[in-house]
Amino acid sequence: MTNLSALAAALRACVGPGIGVGVADPRGVSAPLFPEEAEATRKMVEKRHREFAAGRAAARAAMAELSLPPMAITMGSDRAPVWPKGLCGSISHCAGAAVAVVAPLDQAATLGIDIEEATPLEMDLWPEILTQVEQDWLMRQPEATRGRHAKTIFSAKEAVYKAQYPLTGRMLGFGDITIKLNPPDFHASLAFGSASLPDMITGHILWIESFVTGVSDPIRLVPEGNAETQSLCR
């Protein structure tokens, strides 16, 4: 049985104070939803409904860590979470776990998290997901580690996408994000510039239990309107 408590503890140690962390299990009975959340699930198949509900449960657990009451997290027309006023956050789920991070806007303008099963990324997917720079780097790594590194890059890209989207509204492809790994850290550069984003987005990768999790560092907006990131991982 996967130890989700270990996953939560590792994430909590990474993000540090001021950011709530929540973990939930999507494999059991669906967690209760607020009516406005339930409305968004009417056409979902059972598996997707459980994952959606677990993601919201994880987000409310993260809110509780910040001493906040349970609140609804609805879904926008773009299917992204709509966070309660004054909060930002990110939700992700895979077959065995749902995770969420939540912060007040005075702590972060946006966050990004992704969770995947800790299996190697199939080689035939590499050209679709990895940039040429990333593929060249991968081929310099020991052959036995390449699939794991490729999955790590994939998870980092997903976390970065989720972090940038609330500030830019841009739908990115995998080729728009280039990841430089320095485990357990990563640096991400984007194929476009934006005053809403730092020149480089940083983050961290955790391999815990049967999961790989990418977490972006919080992006903060400074008074001049430029963005900066600050690592909170210990």
Query: Is 85 annotated as belonging to a binding site?
Result: no
Residues 6 or more apart whose CB falls under 8 angstroms from that of 149 comprise 138, 141, 181
CATH 1.10.760.10 matches 4-229: no
The DSSP line for 92-148 is: EE-SS-EEEEEEETTT-SB--EEEEESSPPPGGGHHHHS-HHHHHHHHTS-GGGHHH
pLDDT score for 209: 82
Question: Amino acid letter at 95?
Answer: A
Q: Read off φ and ψ for residue 62, nearest 5 degrees.
A: -65, -40
Residue with tokens 């998290």: 113
Query: Is 158 annotated as belonging to a binding site?
Result: yes
Residue with tokens 């020991």: 142
For each of the chain's 234 residues, which pLDDT tens digit applies? 468 999 999 999 999 889 999 999 999 888 899 999 999 999 899 999 999 999 999 999 999 999 999 999 999 999 999 999 999 999 999 999 999 999 999 999 999 999 999 999 999 999 999 999 999 999 999 999 999 999 999 999 999 999 999 999 999 999 999 999 999 999 999 998 888 899 899 999 999 989 999 999 999 875 555 666 655 544
Q: Which residues pair with 74 in a beta bridge?
A: 82
Q: Which two tokens stand for residue 96?
A: 């065995």
Query: Is 138 annotated as belonging to a binding site?
Result: no
Determine which helix (DSSP H) or strand (DSSP E) holds 204, and give its type and residue range. Answer: strand 201-208
Query: Is 66 annotated as belonging to a binding site?
Result: no
Query: Is 92 annotated as belonging to a binding site?
Result: yes
pLDDT score for 48: 92
* CA distances to 48, 153, 208, 219 from 205, in Å: 25, 9, 10, 17
pLDDT score for 233: 47
How are strands ordered across the β-sheet holding 98-104?
A: 20-24, 98-104, 87-93
Q: Which two tokens stand for residue 229?
A: 């990131």
pLDDT score for 193: 84
pTM greater than 0.85 (yes/no): yes
Q: Own/partner pairs for 76-84, CB < 8 Å, 24+ apart?
A: 80/165, 80/166
Query: Is 140 annotated as belonging to a binding site?
Result: no
Question: Amino acid letter at 58?
Answer: A
Listed by start position, the domains of the chain span: 4-229
Tell me the C-alpha distance between 103 and 90, whole Å: 9
Query: Is 79 annotated as belonging to a binding site?
Result: no
